Amino acid sequence: MKAVVLKEFGPAQNLHVADVPIPSISDDEVLVNVKSFSINPVEAHVREVEHWWNLVSASTTADPHIILGWDVSGIITETGKNVTKFKKGDEVFGMINFLGYGAAYAEYVSAPVTDLALKPSNISFEEAAGATMAAQTAWVSLVRYGKVKKGDKVVITGASGGVGHFAVQIAKHFGAHVIGVASEENRDFVLSLGADEFVDYKTQNFEELITDADLVHDAVWRNDESHILRSLNAIKPGGTLLSLMVYPSVDFIEMAMKERKVSVVRMNVTDSSDHIGDVEAIRSLLDMGKMKTHISQEFAIEETQKAHQQIETHTTKGKIVIKL
C-alpha cells in the first residue's frame, strides 16, 4: 500500500510516499481502507522533534519507517473476530490510537473499534476526516472540562483554525454567547460559524474589551505563558481558562486561583472520562447538521509535504485534508 513515511526527523521535505505492507489487525480491531486523512499542527511538530514523536506516539525511532497521523475516514474491509460494532463495508471515521501510533498517513490503517464512529451519510469522507482530532479537542475542552452551558460568555481564541472553528460551533450549540478572536480577514468566516461577536487580535486587545468571560478556550499555538496571561485577564472570578497549546506551570495555575479566582485547565483530549461518548456526540452533531467541517485545502497523498508546509504557517482556516 501507499503510505507517507518519515525516515529522518526534520522539515516537511523529509516526508515521502513509499510502498509498505498493509497492517494486520488484532481480534478487537478493524482494517480501514482510508479515503481521507487530515493534517494537524501536532504532526508537523513531532515530525521535527524526535523526543516529541517518541512521547506522543509511544513508538521508537528504531522503526524501519515512521508513518505519522491519527485522523482518518474510510471503509472497513476486514474485522477482527471479536468485533460486533461494525461490519465489512461500513463507512467510518475517527482519531486512531492517540496517544499512540496511529499511522494514519496511509491507504490502510488498523483501528480499535473504540476509536471509530459510523460516518454520517450527509458528509463527505474529507469532512469526516477533518472532524476528528480537532473536533474532539474542542468538545473535550468545552464540554468535559469547561462544562459550557446556555448563557455562558465564551471567548474562543484562534477561532478560525481547526480546533477553533469547531469550538465556536459547539459553544453555540450549547447556547453560549460566543466571542471569536481571529484576524480581520477571517471575520466573516468566524461570524458565519455562529459567533455573536468578533475581535481582530491584530488591532484590538481582547482582554481589554472583555473582562467578564465565563470561559476562555485558548487554541492559539504559542510556546510561553504570556499569551494565556492575556486570556486570564478576560475571565471573571469563578471562570475557567482552557489552555490547549500552552502547558501552564503549577505556579501560573496557583497564581490564577489565588489572585483572580480563575481555574486554569491543562486541556488534554485523551483525559476524557467518556471517549466513546465524545466520538458519538460529534457524529450526532455532524449528522444533524449542527456542526460542519470547513475544509480550506485538499491535497493528494503525493502532496503531503505541501500540506505540512501550510499547516506550519498557523494561518490555516478550518482544516487541511488529504484525499485518497
* CATH number of the structural domain spanning residue 52: 3.90.180.10
Beta bridge partners of 12: none
What total of structural domains would you count in the chain?
2
- Are residues 54 and 102 both part of a single domain? yes
Domain membership of residue 45 (yes or no) is yes
Domain membership of residue 63 (yes or no) is yes
The pLDDT assigned to 223 comes to 66
**What is the CATH classification number for the domain harbouring 188?**
3.40.50.720
Return d(Cα 5, Cα 295) in angstroms, integer: 24
Which helix (H) or strand (E) segment is 286 a member of? Answer: helix 275-288
Q: Which residues of the chain have pLDDT under 50?
A: none
- Are residues 108 and 194 both part of a single domain? no
Domain membership of residue 11 (yes or no) is yes
- Are residues 158 and 229 both part of a single domain? yes
- Are residues 46 and 127 both part of a single domain? yes
- Are residues 91 and 141 both part of a single domain? no
Domain membership of residue 280 (yes or no) is no
Domain membership of residue 96 (yes or no) is yes
- Are residues 241 and 301 both part of a single domain? no
Domain membership of residue 276 (yes or no) is no
- Are residues 151 and 113 both part of a single domain? no
Q: How far apart are the first and last CA of the chain?
A: 12
- Are residues 148 and 74 both part of a single domain? no
- Are residues 39 and 104 both part of a single domain? yes
Domain membership of residue 81 (yes or no) is yes
Q: Which three cell numbers stand for residue 54?
A: 517518541
pLDDT in tens, 179-195: 999 999 999 999 999 99
The pLDDT assigned to 268 comes to 84
Q: What is the dihedral of CA 153, 143, 133, 55, to 10 degrees?
A: 110
Q: Which three cell numbers stand for residue 50?
A: 524526535
Q: What is the CA radius of gyration of the chain?
A: 19
Alpha carbons within 13 A on the beta-carbon side of 313: 10
99: CB partners within 8 A, 6+ apart: 56, 57, 58, 270
Return d(Cα 254, Cα 203) in angstroms, integer: 31
Rounded alpha-carbon distances, angstroms, from residue 162 to 15, 26, 165, 300, 315: 22, 32, 6, 19, 10
- Are residues 9 and 52 both part of a single domain? yes
Domain membership of residue 281 (yes or no) is no
Phi, psi angles (nearest 5°) of residue 167:
-60, -40
- Are residues 138 and 266 both part of a single domain? yes
Beta bridge partners of 153: 177
Structural domain including 303 reads 2-131+293-323
Q: What angle do CA 11, 14, 15 make, to 5 degrees?
A: 115
The pLDDT assigned to 146 comes to 97
68 neighbors 6 (Cβ within 8 angstroms): yes
- Are residues 157 and 90 both part of a single domain? no
